[in-house]
Amino acid sequence: MPQLGESIAEATVIHLLAKPGDWVDADQDVMEVETNKATLNITSPCPGKVQKVLAKANESYPVGAVLGYLEVSDEDAARLGLDHVAPIDSEKGEQNGKAPAITEKQGVQPTVRGLPVPAHASGASYMSPRMKARMDELGLHAADLAGIAGSGAAGRVTIQDFENFLSSLEKHKLTHASSMRVAVADAMRRSWTRPLATVGLPVCIDALLAHRKQLDTKPGPALYALRALALALAENSAPAGRLIGNKIVHPPAIDIGVAVEAEDGVLVPVLRNADRRPLSEMVARYNELVALARQRRLPADATGGSIATVTNFGTFGLTWATPIPLPEQTLVLGLGAGRQAPNWDAQKNQFVPIMEANLTLSFDHRVLDGGAAGRLLARIAALMGEPEKL
């Protein structure tokens, strides 16, 4: 029974105009029905053969009720959206190709599930568009918000919280941060987005100090560590590789940087192909780069492109440190201050004094684990134990 008019819920069959076995054309009248407003005809939706008539004269049927079945061609069935098998049950199913019986409810299936976007504008990590715009204006990052308590939904920092925070800063002593400071801050922030870990071990530097004494040029101990790192990486460059997606990108050349404190920050001049030349041939260049770095007069080609860095935190008197690798590097090798320490001598069956310093290796834990880091560090320590071979 089709929808015959607004507010028509049912109609009474007056005359049956087609019987089983009759062939009917599209739009041919098959039944005459009467509603409370008018008498009208129900027509066939397409050409076909009347297979079965369920409706009876003088009976009333609701809109959507099955009145009969029409045998039609596959194309017509497909065109009318009825090319699936209709249930045999005459109470339900589709009649004459018109609207499905009202007892069948078909929900609309959503076509998009689980969008990978946050649905809620709340929570400590949410930054509203206005917040982002304001932070861009001030050159700030999410890390700068870490100290602000949020009064918004689920603790988010609202623009109001942010502006209040900024104006509260006026009450404090404020000094200018140099561009060097800001640059280092940005590099460290970016580096810290990775999972970093540190391993360390003590190394005896008596041999190194003796070797150094006999040289005229007296290179810093960091150069020995740098050369040992270069040779170890030349043997196996994977630990200095970078992880991009599921690929390890191996370093193209063993260029090692050395961290130099310069005024308000750190500069990292680079010794190119540090695996190719012996230590004695690198001393002059090393000393020159360190001096230039301290004066902030490094030429542009002297920095950048290094695959690992060495830092001598021992110059500050520190015995232990966990430096942070540069954001584009996986490794940073640190050398602590040397000091007299007791070492067990099995042969003499007693402690003997040695000069000892800690070597630490901080690394991006995505690229290598403690084992590989430990093996690398042990190799470096072993190489540093034979300084004449560096």
Partner 1 sequence: MSITYLEAIRAAQAKALADDPRVFIYGQDVGAFGGAFKATKNLSEEFPGRVLDAPISEDAMIGSAIGAAIEGMRPIIEIQFADFSTTGFNQIVNHAAAFFWRTDVPCPITVRLPCGGTSGSGPFHSQSLEALYAHYPGLIVMTPATVEDAYSMLLEAVALDDPVIFCEHKFLYYHLKAERLPSEAMPVGKARIARPGRDMTIVAYSAMVHEALAVAEELATEGTEVEVVDLRSVKPLDTDTVVASVARTGRVLCVGEAWPWGGVTAEVVARIASEGFGLLDVPPQRLNAKDTPVPYHPNLWMVHRPTARSIGMAARNLLRM
Residue 129 Cβ vs partner 1, minimum distance, rounded to whole Å: 5
130 is a contact residue toward partner 1 (CB under 8 A): yes
Estimate to the nearest angstrom the gap between the alpha carbon of 117 and the chain centroid.
13
Interface with partner 1 (CB under 8 A), residue total: 13
- The sign of the torsion formed by the CA atoms of 328, 338, 351, 229 equals positive
Helix boundaries (H) for the chain: 74-79, 129-138, 142-145, 159-169, 179-191, 206-213, 221-235, 279-294, 370-384
List the structure tokens of 184.
């280092």
128 counts as binding partner 1 under rule CB under 8 A: yes
Task: Select the residue interacting with partner 1 from 28, 35, 60, 158 (CB under 8 A).
Answer: 158
- For residues 11 and 57, give the distance between their C-alpha atoms in angstroms, rounded to a whole number: 11
- Cα(2)–Cα(8) distance, rounded to whole angstroms? 10
Using the rule CB under 8 A, which residue among 86, 140, 159, 209 binds partner 1? 159
Measure CA 24 to chain center: 64
Nearer to partner 1, 135 or 187 (CB): 135
**Phi/psi at 264 (5° precision):** -90, 10
In this chain, which of 26, 38, 99, 133 binds partner 1, going by CB under 8 A? 133
Question: Toward partner 1, which CB reaches closer, 130 or 181?
Answer: 130
Among 129, 139, 245, 317, binds partner 1 (CB under 8 A): 129
Q: Which is nearer to partner 1, 133 or 382 (CB)?
A: 133
Should residue 123 be labelled a site residue for partner 1 when binding is judged by CB under 8 A?
no
> Judged by CB under 8 A, which of 122, 303, 322, 343 binds partner 1?
122
Residue 156, Cβ density class (10 Å: 0-12 exposed, 13-18 middle, ≥19 buried): buried
Query: What tokens does 317 get?
Result: 């008197």
Using DSSP, state whether 13 is helix, strand or coil. Answer: strand
Nearer to partner 1, 159 or 318 (CB): 159
Taking CB under 8 A as the criterion, the residue among 57, 78, 99, 121 binding partner 1 is 121
Q: Which residues bind to partner 1, rule: CB under 8 A?
A: 121-122, 128-133, 152-153, 158-160
